[in-house]
A = this chain, B = another copy of it.
Amino acid sequence: MNVDVVPAIAELRERLSPRRRTGSIGFVPTMGALHEGHARLIDRARSECATVVVSIFVNPLQFDRPDDLANYPKTLDADLDLCRAHGVDMVFAPSAPELYPQPPLCTVRVERLADHLCGRYRPGHFAGVATVVLKLLAIVQPDRAYFGEKDAQQLAIVERLVADFNLPVEIVPVPTVRAADGLAISSRNQHLDARGRALAPALYRALQKADRQIAAGESNVASIVAAAAQEVPRADDVRLEYLEVVDPAELQPVRSVGGPVRVAGALWIGRTRLIDNILSTPPSKK
């Protein structure tokens, strides 16, 4: 079994054209450093589409810190092995000049949805994400595109991007994959040393604690968050960047839980930033 690596937009379009006429195209956009979470996206695409395309592109437009861009893990050979093993038909791996031959003057503006959670701490990040996703969707023209629920804010923004611009694609959300101790699988986990890895599941424990309170009928967000944050260990190199409760559609903070909410957090361990979230539902009212 082989996987074709295509670096050029024109060639990708040419090779997809006959496949498009005979069956559906599934698309999994990634920044490489593929892991079990990506494999789950690919498997889902594989089960639903005649052709599966994975893109590997570390998008400079969405990095707010140059060191984060420079340090982003690059593991192309292993990525291709994973794609091969999971039956991917084509890997689109463009260079930065192929995707940005000139500085873009037209980009996506994202309002409201990027004001809180990660968006508040990463200025321009989600505009960069939305812009590259729009470009990739226009290049691949898939019938379905697959995104992980771990990046809930990204997923909500991509869903709104598709709705607002009438893009002819179905966005398929895929549940977060977790390690046995609850840690969400992420490319950034590999930056953790053994101690950091042992501390990391605290983020998910905090989310679970918030979820249990909400499920038990607690509606006061300030007290939910205060109790949940106690799950985070006190240490010089551990910092909870945010822990927020927002409405799932437009990601605006709520003060009182009156329906399903997204509970999301970002945790720094040393120089590594981890994010996670869950959808939490209060008990139905009598």
Which of A's residues lie within 8 Å of B, judged by CB?
A: 9, 13, 21, 99, 102, 104-113, 127, 130-131, 134-135, 138-139, 141, 157, 160-161, 163-168, 250
Contact = CB atoms under 8 A, between A and B. Distances in A.
B164 A138 contact: no
Most buried by B among A109, A127, A167: A109
**Which of A138, A139, A167, A250 has the largest count of B CB atoms less than 10 A from its CB?**
A138
A135 B165 contact: yes
Given A9-B166, A166-B9, A106 B161 contact: yes
Contacts of A131: 165
B105 A106 contact: no
Contacts of A165: 106, 131, 134-135, 138
> Top 9 nearest A-B pairs by Cβ distance?
A109-B109, A106-B164, A104-B164, A138-B166, A106-B161, A105-B111, A135-B166, A139-B166, A107-B109
Nearest to A167: B138
A115 to B, nearest CB: 10
A168 B138 contact: yes
Contacts of A13: 168
A72 B13 CA distance: 40
Nearest to A111: B105
A107 B164 contact: yes
A157 B161 CA distance: 20
A167 B113 CA distance: 24
A106 B166 contact: no
23 contacts: A13-B168, A105-B111, A105-B112, A105-B160, A105-B164, A105-B250, A106-B108, A106-B110, A106-B157, A106-B160, A106-B165, A107-B109, A107-B111, A107-B164, A109-B109, A135-B164, A135-B165, A138-B165, A138-B166, A138-B168, A139-B166, A139-B168, A141-B168
A110 B111 CA distance: 15
A112 B103 CA distance: 11
A135 B134 CA distance: 12
A138 B163 CA distance: 11
